[in-house]
Structure 1
Amino acid sequence: MKIDADSINQPLISVVLPVYNAVEHIEISVQSILVQKVREFELIIINDGSTDGSAAILERLAKLDSRIILISRENRGLVSTLNEGVAKSRGKWIARMDADDIALPDRFLRQLQQLEVTKSDICGTWIRLFGASSKHVIKHAETHEAIAVELLFGSPFAHPTVMMRAALAKGLPYDATWEKCEDYDLWRRAFLAGWRMTNVPEPLLLYRQHSAQISTASLSEQQILTHKVRQEYWQSVSSSLGLSTADFQEILKLRSSSKEGVDMDKVDSVVNSLLANATGEARAVVTDQSLRLYYRAASQCSNISSRWANLHHEAPASFSVRLKLWVLSKLRIKSESKAFGFLKAIYWRLNG
């Protein structure tokens, strides 16, 4: 039986869902959108040249629900597909979805509520991992001010969770120059363009992890491009933070593949400056993100534990954090090593 959507002529939300060879997971992903509590949407599915049988599944689903707009064509790549979906959208809001993830039923409802309360232009959510990896929750900052800080260190949104104001998104397309980290680049440009940003502090999407997601070569390219986006954002906002290029380059070294020769005095200075200019959730983000940097630096810095304590002399650093830093330093455990990954996995299990 064909479902007719209320308000399909003027959908509140346009969902953009790119599909490329997702035959194993696409049906459950689409169904998770169709059962959303908010029903006033169009689901724009672009089959980007799939060769695995995805097309047949999508054609069957499109016949059952008139909210589905199915476009099948030759392969053009993710960025081109995303921009096509955004251009064809008719809703007030544009929501992203990936072909192997599962949206929880109240995802759209909670995002619309958050956007209304915060008067924001873009809203993401937390995600819960499932599949080949841990089932822990990945969290992102909720407030605009905290997101501005999180941008300094990496993407502040889980890409398949975002909902964006269409009028703004159509004027700020994804850039193919940054494919593989096109989302991080877009959030950087959106922030600098004045978009208000928020996240719903709840896991409203199940993010599937599996071995076919990204190759080792692609991961390496993604890391290089992500580092470049991060560097451009630091360059854009450093003057407003009272930082010089020489200062923040030491922070960037800790996020690169080569961490040799990092000037920890400058790292301390930058972190101290960020802490001094941040309050509330933004300060908590500075603390969390900088702690990750100190974990990365621990193997080459014998006094890393005391450095961290000195940054938090007003509210002394917890004993457990200082102990972790001391262990990593004394045993010279590098952040890219199997030992570090093992310890991190144990921490995830102990902390849900």
Structure 2
Amino acid sequence: MAKVAVVMAVYNGERWLAEAIESVLVQTFADFELLIHDDGSTDNSLKILRDYAATDARITVTTGTNEGLAATLNRLIGTARAPFLARMDADDICLPDRFAKQVAYLDENPDCAVLGACETTIDAAGRRIAKIRVPLTHEEIDANNLRGVTSITHPTVMMRRDTVLRCGYDPTYPTSQDLDLWLRMAEIGRLANLPDIVLEFRIHGGSISGSKQDLQRQMCRRACEAAWARRGLTGMTFDYSDWRMADTPESRRAFHLRYGWQAWNHGYRDTWRHYALRSVADAPLSVEAWKLLIAGAIKRPRRKGA
């Protein structure tokens, strides 16, 4: 029996799927099984998955209709036998020592039920944008989660299977399933984040719409209010704030500015240059676009990236 079961749900993920799978297969900790469910993809995802499964016995591929992320993850977790579960998405990249670091921590900290970590954000082309640091202790993480500031990034997570089975993902959440799960698991176990960066988290527009962002906020609030009620908490504040690029010209312009500044602040000069030039090209009369280009050219960033 493998020590880690990696669970991945795929829906029309062909663009980055091979890169994501390769990043799992080259882990320095090799005692894992990779369980992938294709959730009714209409692109080339299933062929890619079957090709990999034919060459590596650790990979198991299942298929089904599009039943949603929570139901798919519950299905995969139900078939897993490993004591640890690692989440992975079809568009992200694991760093090679991710599993080794997380397994070591969980072995040394038996009270920890959910372990996340820090990440580097990347864009659709793989350009690095920023290093994202997250709170490390249970108390900090849970306090943030309770006010809607999700402080464990879903695809960085490794969890104890026995604890997850006591809770499970709630399929009535079309989004924010992770926050709801973290809040419930925090009531029966400890949460933690590693200070190490273990994942490159890809940010891209895709088909994210304004209505879906509204739904994200609604489901996030629902998860928080349910936790407040379970724990008998009153006077809580909801501080949710999440901005995602939608497939509109206005959103793309805002994306270029936002991540141009982040890349500059984190020392990723090539990424800054790309987005600064894109911002000026998008809106030649924009003061903010020219400010990004000029300030980035004449000032030193506040921190440096690797």
Give the TM-score normalised by structure 2: 0.76
Residue 209 of structure 1 and its aligned partner are, at CA, apart by 1.0
Matching residue's letter, 1:232: A
1:60 to 34, 40, 51: 51
Question: 3-state SS of the aligned residue for 2:166?
Answer: coil
CA, structure 1 residues 348+80, in 2 after alignment: closer, same or farther (shift >3 Å)? Answer: same
The 5 Å alignment of 1:203-282 reads 203-212=197-206, 214-237=208-231, 239=233, 245=234, 247-248=235-236, 251-252=237-238, 255=240
Checking the alignment, whether the CA contact within 8 Å between 2:98 and 2:198 is kept in structure 1 is yes
Paired residue for 1:331? none
1:124 to 88, 95, 116: 116
1:84-118 residue CA offsets vs partner (Å, 9 max, x unmatched): 00000010101110000000000000111222333
Residue 155 of structure 1 and its aligned partner are, at CA, apart by 1.7
The 5 Å alignment of 1:143-154 reads 143-153=137-147, 154=149
**Structure with the higher fraction of residues in helix conformation:** 1
Checking the alignment, whether the CA contact within 8 Å between 2:217 and 2:240 is kept in structure 1 is no
CA distance in 2, matches of 1:174, 1:102: 23
The 5 Å alignment of 1:16-35 reads 16-35=7-26
* Structure 2, unaligned runs of 5 or more: 243-252, 266-302
Question: 3-state SS of the aligned residue for 1:64?
Answer: coil
RMSD over aligned CA atoms reads 2.5
Paired residue for 2:278? none
1:169 aligns with 2:164: yes
Matching residue's letter, 1:109: A
Paired residue for 2:288? none
Checking the alignment, whether the CA contact within 8 Å between 2:114 and 2:157 is kept in structure 1 is yes
CA distance in 1, matches of 2:47, 2:156: 26
Checking the alignment, whether the CA contact within 8 Å between 2:129 and 2:259 is kept in structure 1 is no
Paired residue for 1:94? 85
Q: Give the number of the structure whose alpha-carbon radius of gyration is greater.
A: 1
Paired residue for 1:309? none
Paired residue for 1:180? 175
CA, structure 1 residues 342+135, in 2 after alignment: closer, same or farther (shift >3 Å)? Answer: closer
CA, structure 1 residues 143+118, in 2 after alignment: closer, same or farther (shift >3 Å)? Answer: farther
1:5-46 residue CA offsets vs partner (Å, 9 max, x unmatched): xxxxx0101110101001111011011101111111110010
* Structure 1, unaligned runs of 5 or more: 1-9, 240-244, 258-337
Residue 229 of structure 1 and its aligned partner are, at CA, apart by 1.8
Paired residue for 1:11? 2
Matching residue's letter, 1:61: Y
Matching residue's letter, 1:169: V
Aligned residue pairs, count:
253
CA, structure 1 residues 134+102, in 2 after alignment: closer, same or farther (shift >3 Å)? Answer: closer
1:113 aligns with 2:104: yes
166-175 or 138-147, larger mean C-alpha shift: 138-147
CA, structure 1 residues 27+346, in 2 after alignment: closer, same or farther (shift >3 Å)? Answer: closer
Residue 345 of structure 1 and its aligned partner are, at CA, apart by 6.2
What's the % identity of the aligned pairs?
A: 33
Matching residue's letter, 1:123: L
Checking the alignment, whether the CA contact within 8 Å between 2:10 and 2:38 is kept in structure 1 is yes
CA distance in 1, matches of 2:264, 2:229: 37
Give the TM-score normalised by structure 1: 0.66
CA, structure 1 residues 105+134, in 2 after alignment: closer, same or farther (shift >3 Å)? Answer: closer
Paired residue for 1:70? 61
CA, structure 1 residues 11+343, in 2 after alignment: closer, same or farther (shift >3 Å)? Answer: closer
Residue 165 of structure 1 and its aligned partner are, at CA, apart by 0.6
Residue 62 of structure 1 and its aligned partner are, at CA, apart by 0.5
CA, structure 1 residues 201+256, in 2 after alignment: closer, same or farther (shift >3 Å)? Answer: closer
Question: 3-state SS of the aligned residue for 2:119?
Answer: strand
Question: 3-state SS of the aligned residue for 1:136?
Answer: strand
Question: 3-state SS of the aligned residue for 1:197?
Answer: strand
Paired residue for 1:317? none
Higher relative contact order (CA 8 A, sep 6+): 2
